[in-house]
A and B are shown apart, each in its own frame.
Chain A
């Protein structure tokens, strides 16, 4: 029996956990192809026009997998992985949306609720509410999940050693952990945003490679230690309510305070609700910290040449600023 995993949304963060978990239970996992125009097209056809592009993309991948004839689609309902926080409403209602978007395939959706205080404390009771998982006993489910967590921890460690997610996805199954990544670019950019925007080939328009080709080293939220993010969020009287928004926002504040970060780029989808608040707050902070900040807003129509021009201008500016600063410090003439 095979289970399709849409290459969308939190695939980019949790695939190393989900894949071994499902395989441990005897399933064969099939990942949908990377997002392309065809996927976008499929997604747009079945989605509300105004919804943010990551959700359209997700629907497109589900559609693609269903056409491929998979037995199941793995689309967990992400509710909580951190105490006191939750997910964007669209994640909370995702399985319900699938049921009504693909009514003929209702029984193929594997959508267990994920609700715990961290990634490794999954509730087997929640899993067993899905008939597919109910066929396994509690200890079997938990053991399979822990094997997933182990792989995922390796993946996360690689991220923290400075690798971007696509690199980490290539490396985490290798026997040895790679060394801390050696970066020697002319400038360093804090690139923040949700994994499904930045690393989706079509939505993110390969912004990482583009920036690297312009001589920029990158730092992202998933490369940080949790405590670096928490340190930013904890003092807030009222933090945001959404786990990944907090990670991105906390990373943004952290980067503002790191002297080696020359500038920050925030990638966000048109129509993203949480970012409409956190993005604005970061923008307001840019002045306070005197660090350049740029927002890149993406959707299914955004053009590559436009992006290229904007980030070129931004990196050029950062390089100029850096040179000037180094001259001031007397390091360079």
Chain B
């Protein structure tokens, strides 16, 4: 059995881990990206590669150092660079003496034989039926995680005890990690909700609530260590948050037949064609659709996250100012990379939230409120 590991991207860890465990592999727990991970990636990646490529490379190297010998990730086919990450990563790993460590799941039609070979390595001695069972369970786990995480991102804004929601969220992830059957999963789900419902919250009237949507490039949106803990920060600033990307949406849209999953994402994509006639790579078109969606839902503002130099998201950024004006919806973009200064960005974020508050509640009231609080 292989010692298996995978990229670290938000909650996807729970899913990968479960697959690995249930198929009987030894799972090397992927370390959450830290400054050290980033430094490692930066050191070995092309200087001008996208930030996610660097962080992923750093993660792979750390995992190999921890003993992993089978790294699995998903590939892709243009039009953006991500489709080429796997190839580039393999090249770099090879130059560092690690041959055959990385398995990239490309669309089977590209290289059917390779796909099958790779799949067999993961499947090991398990029956196909059992694999199907595992995948179904993991899918359910992801759905549950997403549902709970969305609740977490709403509640953070109102917690009485600082950090109580984050702690509950950690407990919840552990609960889902430990569930290996459907009944166990459902129990974890229930317990998760109970945990959150039992936390003490500041009562806030509906019209006093602030809602912020997060859109952008999938990796930096999903992995909070690369986005200055944006969701948590916004929560601390008193905002409910919802992201454009959750893993289950991605699966519904990309992996399942749409007549079964009825993905919301398909609708979003349609909304996005108002801005981009065709897909231009990454999730640029979907993100524009999300701007409309958040606007329709009455959200108060949008945070747009992109890796520095991200091709499709720079195109979004080019059209966002006008869209923001048209919809009368404040939108702020953050370009992230290994050098993005935290302090400076935080000040910008706080100013952004202040601006939204001032717009929504009127300047005077807002100042009074601040005075009352401070």
List residues of chain A with CB under 8 Å of any chain B CB. Answer: 47-48, 50-51, 77, 79, 86-90, 92-93, 95-97, 99-101, 103, 113, 237-238, 240-242, 270-277, 279-281, 284
Contacts and interface: CB of A to CB of B under 8 A. Distances in A.
B81 A277 contact: yes
A238 B87 contact: yes
B95 interface: yes
A271 B279 CA distance: 21
Contact of A90 (B77, B83, B315): B315
Contact of B278 (A90, A92, A271, A273): A92
B322 A92 contact: no
B192 interface: no
Interface centre among A47, A86, A275 (most CB of B within 10 A): A86
Given A51-B314, A90-B314, A238-B87, 4 more contacts: A89-B311, A93-B280, A93-B312, A276-B309
Sort chain B's interface into a size bin: 35 or more
Contacts of B309: 50, 271, 273, 276
Interface in B324-366: 335
Chain B interface main SS type:
loop
Contacts, number: 113
Contacts of B311: 88-90, 273
Nearest to A59: B318
B78 A242 contact: yes
Interface of B: 46-50, 77-81, 83-84, 87-88, 91, 95, 106, 110-111, 275-282, 284, 308-312, 314-315, 317-319, 321-323, 335
Contacts of A276: 46-50, 81, 309
15 contacts: A48-B317, A77-B277, A86-B78, A89-B280, A92-B280, A93-B315, A96-B315, A100-B275, A101-B318, A237-B87, A238-B110, A241-B79, A272-B48, A276-B46, A280-B88
A97 B78 contact: no
Contacts of B275: 96, 100
A101 B279 CA distance: 19
Given A276-B50, A276-B81, A97 B315 contact: yes
Given A89-B282, A96-B275, A276-B50, A242 B79 contact: yes
A43 to B, nearest CB: 12
Contacts of A93: 276, 280, 284, 312, 315
Contacts of B84: 238, 240-241, 277
A107 to B, nearest CB: 16
Interface centre among A89, A90, A274 (most CB of B within 10 A): A89
Contacts of B335: 50
A241 B83 contact: yes
A61 to B, nearest CB: 16
Contacts of A77: 277-278
Contact of A48 (B47, B50, B77, B318): B318
Nearest to B314: A51
B53 to A, nearest CB: 9
B310 to A, nearest CB: 8
B197 to A, nearest CB: 44
A276 B88 CA distance: 11
Given A50-B309, A96-B276, A100-B323, A86 B318 contact: no
A280 B49 contact: yes
A272 B111 CA distance: 29
A99 B78 CA distance: 24
Interface centre among A77, A86, A238 (most CB of B within 10 A): A238
B46 A97 contact: no
A79 B277 CA distance: 11
B49 A100 contact: no
Nearest to A97: B318
Contacts of B278: 77, 79, 92, 113
Contacts of A86: 78-79
Interface centre among B84, B311, B312 (most CB of A within 10 A): B311
A92 B79 CA distance: 9
A95 B314 contact: no
A113 B319 CA distance: 19
A97 B78 CA distance: 20
Nearest to B279: A92
A280 B278 CA distance: 29
Contacts of A240: 84
A271 B315 contact: no
Given A47-B318, A48-B318, A93-B315, A277 B46 contact: yes
A144 B125 CA distance: 62
B275 to A, nearest CB: 6
Contacts of B314: 48, 50-51, 90
A284 B315 contact: no
A288 B28 CA distance: 35
Contacts of A87: 79
B318 A241 contact: no
A237 B115 CA distance: 13
A89 B318 CA distance: 13
Nearest to B277: A96
A125 to B, nearest CB: 15
A256 to B, nearest CB: 17
B212 to A, nearest CB: 22
A182 B173 CA distance: 71
Contact of A279 (B46, B81, B280): B46
Contacts of B310: 273
Interface centre among A79, A90, A95 (most CB of B within 10 A): A90
Given A93-B315, A238-B84, A241-B77, A50 B323 contact: no
A99 B319 CA distance: 8
Contacts of A281: 91
Contact of B281 (A89, A237, A277): A89
Given A77-B277, A92-B79, A100-B323, A277 B318 contact: no
Contacts of B83: 241
